[in-house]
Structure 1
């Protein structure tokens, strides 16, 4: 079990763009995926929230996401596709700023294409909260934080203080 430090808002590394990984790196990638799982589960234990995490949040600049909403799902070299323009307004949170919420606009539906741990090509359609979740995590791969997507200057609240 390797619980890693989650980089916090203000850390310049969070703004770096991550690189794709190759099949030859899968032993290393599988170790990162295990660390993502362990780190997210510890965050969930501590804060009571946490459904997904991106490798850059633990300082790994590779294009890997990990989601666990009942079943562990790693996304290796993911690509998001938006087939519709419908947007939703959501309060976004992040492990990099655990008590801050940010109001953002996200696509209501998306599709994610990726490789699994066995390097098989996969695709998944997502809607509503899962679509928002994967868009948030995907942004981390491109060095984008939710605070950069805030709708306006009044789009911030501390957890438990929204009205």
Structure 2
């Protein structure tokens, strides 16, 4: 089932999400619906808060340049270490349609998480996968990629966001 994606301005996108446990109802159906929604929206990642749920869950599916598919569910993730050189890449977001900006993030991360079968992992990711994971992780911490922009950039797109999303005075 395709789920509605929350758009910038919805307060759920700014909430820090809570952990879930094995008793969480219909987790596999939720994950399937999240993938269906992400595919329909032509995204490469989707977090639970983007569909209105304040839980620590996100999904990713990304095909790299070598046609190798990376598809993973992250439940209750925790970034252990964010390190390496700064990598600047263009980011967009399903909750901020038509906004694409250069964002600086660290090139490497170590993250602990559970998959959909509640198997625990501790993994290292780098490059673009690290960037995608950090982007989705931000969502479950109540952050958006625009929060990583410098003050001048925020100022320059502030009016654009207000017009696009019919917002009154909105603080980033």
Residues 33-112 of structure 1: matches in 2 within 5 Å?
33-44=31-42, 50-69=43-62, 70-82=69-81, 84-112=83-111
The 3 A distance-change label for structure 1 pair 17 and 154 is closer
Residues 8-23 of structure 1: matches in 2 within 5 Å?
8-23=7-22
User: TM-score, normalised to structure 2's length?
Assistant: 0.80
Residue ranges of structure 1 left out of the alignment (5+ in a row): 45-49, 159-163
Alignment correspondent of 1:161 = none
CA drift at 1:136: 0.5
The structure having more radius of gyration, on CA atoms, is: 2
CA drift at 1:6: 0.6
**Which of structure 1's runs of 4+ aligned residues deviate more than 6 A?**
155-158
Q: Deviations over 1:43-73 (max 9, x none)?
A: 01xxxxx211111000011100101123531
Q: CA RMSD in A?
A: 1.9
The question of whether the paired residues in 2 share the 8 Å contact of 1:32 and 1:55 is answered with: no
Q: Deviations over 1:95-147 (max 9, x none)?
A: 11121112222110012211111111112321111111100000000100111
CA drift at 1:151: 2.8
Secondary structure of residue in 2 paired with 1:144: coil
CA drift at 1:153: 2.2
Looking at structure 2, the residues matched to 129 and 42 of structure 1 have their Cα atoms a distance apart, in angstroms, of 22
Secondary structure of residue in 1 paired with 2:34: helix
Counting matched residue pairs gives 151
